[in-house]
Structure 1
Amino acid sequence: MPVHKKHHNTPESPTTRVSISPADVPSQESFHQHLRELIRGATRVVMEEIMQEELSLFLGAEWGESTSQRRGYRNGSYTRDLVTTSGRIEDLNVPRDREGQFHTQAFERYSRYEPQVAEALTEMFVSGSSTHKIGKVANTLLGVAPSASSVSRLNESLSEQFESWRIRPLQTHYRIVYLDGIHFGIRHGSGCDSSILLTILGVDLEGNKEVLALQACAEESREGWLSILQDMRSRGAIQIDLFATDGHEGLLGALSELFTATPRQRCLVHKQRNVLSAIPRRERELVQADLVGIWKPEKKEDALANLVAFKAKYAERYPQAVRSLCEDEEHLLTFYDFPVGMHRHIQSTNAIEGFFSNVRQRTDQIDAFTTETSCVRLVWAVMQDIRFHKVTVS
């Protein structure tokens, strides 16, 4: 039996169309301005509620509550302005106690900037940006231009934190210490010179990495390395099980003077690069296989045999490459004297090179720093966000 189509008794209503005049559509600028106002309003409400909760915890009692744990009384509030990532919040109500002992954690006691804003302005300052440029950028993003005195106070705070870090005591004993330097451009008048940031990266007895010291120098020299190594020792780091280094003469000279008895591992990545630079490109793949084969065996005796065989095979054909290999030869296979689990961590200075790469990613937008001091401080500030992986130390 055929199925009949269903008939609708109610007539269909015509589609209602709403016409919107272009004049009714807000511009993108006004829309974002309205959105920022809503965010600021919400931020104000949340911050004021949080500060009231902080005060309740500080006093040990809610508003009007009578308890034996009460440690003080409320005393109204005062207003202040606070610059946030959404712009300026005016007349923010900050609660206070009668004794004047309560200080909120929502922002620094004398700061007029939200922590994220203060950090961003500080990083711009230490990167070499002028106060005028910082004000221009902040005014564009936040609608507020910080005064020169505000930026100076932010920089003073950073300087104090860095100075506390720079002189902090170190552990007595480190399993591995990596030494290397990273180059940055420093402006001098209309010109720009390269300066090196000498760096000490330590690994403690638990396998935790930590930057022990940073020091800017005009050039990598024996005197520069002596200075930073002496600083490391003066802060307590006197027992080092192994140094991992490249072959810079100034560095090696400083180590031989201050840490005569400490074993040292020559970075095999740097050594391989130096040796292969003396080999024609068409021959490098074959020579590289023999070169890397020197330190591949499980036993040191086999590695030494491979070293002898390599020198015999290429001494006549590539004497310069063999001479390069023989430089610092006694420190090429030091890693064999340590547990097998440590070998991949100490055969090269990749640990500190990785740190440098991380720093570069965060500072590449800076063409040159105004001073060596600003360079060190920014690298230190960037370093606070870098999370190091633990290494095997046994």
Structure 2
Amino acid sequence: MPVHKKKDITPSAENPKAESSSLTLPEQEEFRQYLRRLAVSAVQVLLEQVMREELEQCIGASWGEVTPNRRGYRNGSYTRDLVTSTGRIEDLSVPRDREGVFHSQAFERYSRYEPEVAEALTQMFVSGTSTHKVGEVAQTLMGVAPSASAVSRLNQSLTEQYETWRERPLLSHYRVIYLDGIHFTVRHGAQTDATMILTALGVDLEGSREVLAFRASAEESKDGWCALLQGLRTRGMKEVDLLVTDGHEGLLAAIAELFPSTLRQRCLVHKQRNVMSAIPKREQQEVMAELKGIWHQETKEEALLNLTAFKAKYQKRYPEAIRSLCEDEEHLLTFYAFPPVMHRYIRSTNAIESLFSNVRQRTDQIDAFTTETSCLTIV
């Protein structure tokens, strides 16, 4: 009988192409999260090794070493979480000593955030970014959003910085001080109210500008301005060559009480607005050109002649405009007592208005501040 060949029962090799097509790659987000976990794990290993070496230097002996230079003993470790720029480490092992004197330089005591992370979040708050937006950005970059308590702690650090700044000593002599206020909405319990932030901006004898003080007040009252001005004196300011202000009665009353002999310049930009509000729009361009011409004369004598002519020309036609112009008239041309190079800078409160514009760019996203302290801190 013929012998039948035995059939090969060894399974044939699978098609490599088919095999490769059956492999499934992880989704992009899943892969990114995997890389983040690897990075966080590597950072944790590094931090724990650094802290062990720090403790060794602190107590003066390695593990199990007997040495006359030993200054303490190890006492196990504890675990804590720490948010780093890489991500959250949930079970970081922190070594400790029996006496409790060891503290790692890797992070601040009691802080849940790496110093660089805390600083970045703080800068976002200062720039006017909302708490919700800060959380979204932190979640995207680090995989964790700051909790309400973390936000509170960060804001507390800002408050401490503000208090240090608010109480700092001042120079004894300033060339110019600009005074004005800016309003914000602040929550008081279940209600929101307008709060004025009274502001003093100083120019020293070298020409450098510096914000001297902020003070929260319900309104621009005499008491509020007196408190701010007295605070400047308490912190060392003794002499001011010129005060530049608008015409608010509370501010003027405070200046009359505390700085009666100091020269004062009425803001001409505010004055122009007040006068123009009583002039018909069809004539405002012509009248404005004449009004500005008064304070652009080379000498005070020429400016006074132009002022007299302006009043005579428009007294009968626009008495309300002239009445507004004559209010605080004796302080309209004070700037002529100073060198011409200074005139454009001291005729108005534009310097402090520029500051307020800068502040608004950072606070426009904040509908209402939770407290006066948080408002002052961000400003």
Do both proteins adopt the same fold according to a TM-score greater than 0.5, normalized to the shorter chain?
yes
Over the matched positions of the two proteins, sequence identity in percent amounts to 62
Work out the CA distance in 2 between the residues paired with 1:43 and 1:302. 74
1:355 matched to which residue of 2? 355
Residue 84 (1) aligns with residue 75 (2): no
Work out the CA distance in 2 between the residues paired with 1:250 and 1:89. 55
Q: What is the CA distance between 1:232 and its match in structure 2? A: 1.2
- What secondary structure is seen at the aligned counterpart in 1 of 2:210? strand
18-27 vs 164-173, greater mean Cα deviation: 18-27
Q: Is the 8 A contact 1:279 1:321 kept in 2?
A: yes
Q: Structure 2 regions of 5+ residues with no counterpart?
A: 1-16, 63-68
- What secondary structure is seen at the aligned counterpart in 2 of 1:179? strand
Amino acid of the residue matched to residue 220 of structure 2?
E
Amino acid of the residue matched to residue 184 of structure 2?
F
Q: What is the CA distance between 1:101 and its match in structure 2? A: 7.7
1:239 matched to which residue of 2? 239
Q: Is the 8 A contact 1:73 1:97 kept in 2?
A: no
Work out the CA distance in 2 between the residues paired with 1:42 and 1:309. 81
Q: What is the CA distance between 1:109 and its match in structure 2? A: 3.5
Aligned runs of 1:306-321 on 2, under 5 Å? 306-321=306-321
2:375 matched to which residue of 1? 375
Work out the CA distance in 2 between the residues paired with 1:19 and 1:203. 77
Name the TM-score, length of structure 1 as normaliser: 0.74
Q: Is the 8 A contact 1:127 1:375 kept in 2?
A: no
Q: Structure 1 residues 286 and 139, CA, compared in 2 at 3 Å: closer, same or farther?
A: closer
Residue 277 (1) aligns with residue 299 (2): no
Work out the CA distance in 2 between the residues paired with 1:282 and 1:348. 26
Q: Is the 8 A contact 1:181 1:197 kept in 2?
A: yes
Q: Is the 8 A contact 2:159 2:373 kept in 1?
A: no
Q: What is the CA distance between 1:51 and its match in structure 2? A: 8.9
Q: Structure 1 residues 42 and 263, CA, compared in 2 at 3 Å: closer, same or farther?
A: farther
1:229 matched to which residue of 2? 229
Q: Structure 1 residues 99 and 135, CA, compared in 2 at 3 Å: closer, same or farther?
A: same
Amino acid of the residue matched to residue 143 of structure 2?
G
Work out the CA distance in 1 between the residues paired with 2:39 and 2:332. 60
1:182 matched to which residue of 2? 182
CA deviations on 1:129-166 (whole Å, 9 max, x unpaired) are: 88xx6996587444335555544443433332222222
Work out the CA distance in 1 between the residues paired with 2:95 and 2:322. 75
2:113 matched to which residue of 1? 113
- What secondary structure is seen at the aligned counterpart in 1 of 2:366? coil
Q: What is the CA distance between 1:210 and its match in structure 2? A: 1.6
Q: Is the 8 A contact 2:130 2:365 kept in 1?
A: no
Q: Structure 1 regions of 5+ residues with no counterpart?
A: 1-16, 64-70, 380-394
Q: Structure 1 residues 333 and 101, CA, compared in 2 at 3 Å: closer, same or farther?
A: farther
Q: Structure 1 residues 113 and 134, CA, compared in 2 at 3 Å: closer, same or farther?
A: farther
Aligned runs of 1:50-65 on 2, under 5 Å? none
Q: Structure 1 residues 153 and 312, CA, compared in 2 at 3 Å: closer, same or farther?
A: same
2:203 matched to which residue of 1? 203
Aligned runs of 1:1-394 on 2, under 5 Å? 24=24, 26-34=26-34, 36-37=36-37, 40=40, 81-89=81-89, 107-119=107-119, 120=121, 137=136, 140-141=139-140, 142-144=142-144, 146=146, 149-379=149-379
- The CA RMSD measured in Å over matched residues stands at 4.1
Q: Structure 1 residues 276 and 74, CA, compared in 2 at 3 Å: closer, same or farther?
A: farther
| Count of matched residue positions in the alignment of Structure 1 and Structure 2 | 351
